[in-house]
């Protein structure tokens, strides 16, 4: 941080652990409003603003998209975001499929949140930890459109369509 190689903004020194830094949940969640999620189409998203005093109850069977309150990233180190084990023991899981960030992406990270039982969350609560890893070999900074987002990023159907065509085209 002092050398400017890592960005965590806002930075709260008391949230630093020996190998990581805690991150907090921002006040907005998104959830797919469609009854059935379809990876080939852009889903309709419902936006949820977490009430400051009472929080919001997450329910099983839904995937909630949130963001970190902090802008996090680095041009020198690769960030890895994980959920807090204390919340995991309560049945709340974060970053199930996308825990490894991209070199050069500095933004509020989209959080994939799943609850196995109903659990109340609050805006600003510590939900996970980020650690930074030194890459080896050649460095290619992230060039995608997710690298500067500050809202919960929705599904990109172009990626799913491209993958589906690749699989279909390669099968015999």
DSSP 57-87: EE-TT-EEEEEEEEEEE-SSSEEEEEE-HHH
pLDDT on residue 69: 97
Structure tokens at 24: 């907090």
Q: Which of 9-18, 29-38, 70-79, 141-150 has the lowest mean pLDDT?
A: 141-150
> Do 93 and 121 touch, CB atoms closer than 8 A?
no
> Do 22 and 126 touch, CB atoms closer than 8 A?
yes
- Catalytic option among 12, 35, 70, 112: 112
pLDDT digits (tens, 9 = 90+) for 24-50: 999 999 999 888 988 888 889 999 999
Average pLDDT, the chain: 86
Average of pLDDT values for 72-83? 94
pLDDT interval class at 2 (50, 70, 90): confident
pLDDT digits (tens, 9 = 90+) for 123-170: 999 999 999 999 887 776 666 655 555 566 665 656 555 544 444 444
pLDDT on residue 138: 75
The yes-or-no answer on residue 112 being catalytic is yes
pLDDT digits (tens, 9 = 90+) for 97-115: 878 888 888 999 999 999 9
Contacts of 114 (CB under 8 A, 6+ apart): 62, 63, 64, 92, 93, 96
The CATH architecture that domain 7-167 belongs to is Distorted Sandwich (2.70)
- Give the number of other Cβ atoms within 10 Å of residue 72's Cβ: 23
Cα dist from 153 to 35, 43, 68, 78, whole Å = 19, 11, 12, 20
Against a cut of 0.85, is the pTM above it?
no
């Amino acid at each position: 941080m002092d050398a400017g190689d890592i960005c965590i903004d806002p930075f709260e020194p008391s949230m630093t652990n020996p190998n990581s830094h805690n991150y907090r949940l921002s006040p907005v969640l998104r959830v797919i409003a469609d009854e059935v999620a379809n990876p080939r189409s852009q889903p309709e998203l419902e936006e949820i603003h977490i009430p400051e005093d009472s929080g919001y109850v997450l329910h099983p069977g839904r995937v909630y998209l949130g963001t970190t309150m902090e802008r996090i990233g680095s041009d020198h180190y690769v960030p890895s975001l994980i959920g807090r084990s204390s919340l995991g023991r309560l049945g709340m899981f974060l970053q199930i499929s996308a825990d490894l960030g991209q070199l050069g992406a500095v933004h509020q990270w989209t959080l994939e949140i799943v609850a196995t039982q109903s659990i109340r969350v609050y805006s600003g609560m510590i939900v996970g930890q980020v650690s930074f890893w030194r890459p080896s070999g050649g460095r290619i900074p992230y060039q995608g459109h997710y690298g500067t987002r500050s809202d919960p990023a929705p599904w990109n159907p172009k990626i799913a369509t491209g993958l589906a065509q690749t699989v279909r085209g390669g099968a015999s």
